[in-house]
Amino acid sequence: MKRSWIWVIFSIFFLILMFSPSYAQGPREIKPAQPDVKAKPIGPPPLPDLIISGGLRLRIAPFILGEQIKVPVQLRIENRGNAAAGPFRIAFFQLINSPPGAIGEIGFDGTKLFSGLAPTRTRPEEGIGFENIMGNVILPKSLAGQKVKIRGVVDSDNQVRESDEVDNETPWLEVQLPSIAGSPGKK
C-alpha cells in the first residue's frame, strides 16, 4: 500500500508538471542579458561654425570726435554649425600701407566679448543663434582725409574649435575718412 501512495503522488506531480504553462510552451531559448548601452554617434562630434553674415557695413558716415575718427559699423555674427560655440571675441583690423600688406588691430567701442552662441537654426525667430553688433571702429585723427580698409574677424583669438576656420573674416571695407575742416585731405 505504501507503494501505491507513492505511485499516486508521483502521477499527480507528473500531471501538474505536464499541464503547467511554462512546460506546455515547449523549450525556450535563454539569451544573455544585454547591457543598457546608448547608441554612440559615429564620426567626429558636431562643431560650431562662427561667421559674419553679410559682411561689415557702414551705418552712417564716419565722423571726427576729439582726437579720434569714429567709423560707425554693423555686422551680424551667426553660428552656422551643428553645436553651440563657447566664449569668443570679435576684433577689427586695418590694412596698413607700411610695410605693405601689414594689418593692425584697431579699437572698437561696441560689444567684443561673447559668452557663447547657439546654432543659428535652433530658434532664429526668437533671436537665438545670432548677434547683431553695432559700434564704432576707432581710428586716430591723424588719418583724417585718407581712405582706409578695415575688416571684422569673429573668434579673433581662435578660442572656438569650428567645423570651418577659414570663414571668420569679412572682406576688406574701404572707407573714406572725413577731412579736418580747413585742411586739404590726403588722398
3-state percent breakdown (helix, strand, coil) of the chain, nearest 5: 15, 35, 50
Q: How does pLDDT run across 119-163, given as a tens digit for each residue?
A: 987 665 655 678 999 999 999 999 999 999 999 999 999 999 998
The reported pLDDT for the residue numbered 17 is 61
Residue 187 has pLDDT above 50, yes or no: no
Are the C-beta atoms of 129 and 114 separated by less than 8 Å?
no
Res. 7 pLDDT band, cuts 50 70 90: confident
The reported pLDDT for the residue numbered 177 is 96
13: left (phi over 0), alpha (psi -120 to 50) or beta: alpha
The reported pLDDT for the residue numbered 27 is 62
The reported pLDDT for the residue numbered 88 is 95
| Dihedral (CA of 140, 143, 146, 152) sign | negative
Where is pLDDT greater, at 169 or 129?
169
Residue 109 has pLDDT above 70, yes or no: yes
Are the C-beta atoms of 128 and 115 separated by less than 8 Å?
no
Residue 168: what residue type?
N
> What is the rounded distance in angstroms from the CA atom of residue 82 to the CA atom of residue 129?
11
Of the listed ranges 8-12, 21-25, 113-117, 141-145, the least confidently predicted one is 21-25
Q: How does pLDDT run across 39-97, given as a tens digit for each residue?
A: 666 777 789 999 998 899 999 999 999 999 999 999 999 998 889 999 999 999 999 87
Where is pLDDT greater, at 101 or 53?
53
pTM of this prediction exceeds 0.85: no
The full set of domains in the chain, from first to last, is: 50-176 (2.60.40.10)
Cell (9 digits) for 59: 551705418
